[in-house]
């Protein structure tokens, strides 16, 4: 049986990820899967996202984002981070 322990991951998405609804798709997927963290556009055209939830929920969120119309992820950087115990929401950062 898989653990429901929260993990935290940092993602950096490259490709056609700005101006295509990526952040809002991430927001709604996060709400759907009970994920906390944030997503924001970066000046170089990439998107940064930190998420915290059980690994299975994070995997489902990423799959949901990848299925978005017009979104094309060409490259993805992933790293693990320490869990933030008091984080309670997922937000879109402008």
- Candidates 6, 41, 75, 86; catalytic one: 41
Query: Angle at the Cα of 36 (from 34 to 40), degrees rounded to 5?
Result: 125
Burial status of residue 23 (CB atoms within 10 A of its CB: 0-12, 13-18, 19 or more): buried
Chain centre to alpha carbon of residue 40:
10
- Note if 23 is an active site residue: yes
- Candidates 6, 8, 23, 25; catalytic one: 23
- Note if 25 is an active site residue: no
What residues act catalytically?
23, 41
């Amino acid at each position: 049986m898989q653990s429901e322990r929260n993990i935290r991951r940092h993602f950096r998405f490259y490709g056609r990820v700005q101006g295509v609804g990526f952040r809002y798709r991430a927001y709604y997927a996060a709400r759907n899967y009970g994920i906390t963290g944030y997503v924001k556009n970066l000046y170089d055209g990439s998107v940064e996202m930190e998420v915290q939830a059980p690994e299975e929920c994070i995997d489902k969120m990423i799959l949901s984002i990848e299925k978005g119309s017009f979104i094309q992820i060409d490259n993805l950087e992933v790293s693990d981070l320490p869990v933030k115990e008091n984080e309670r929401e997922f937000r879109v950062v402008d």
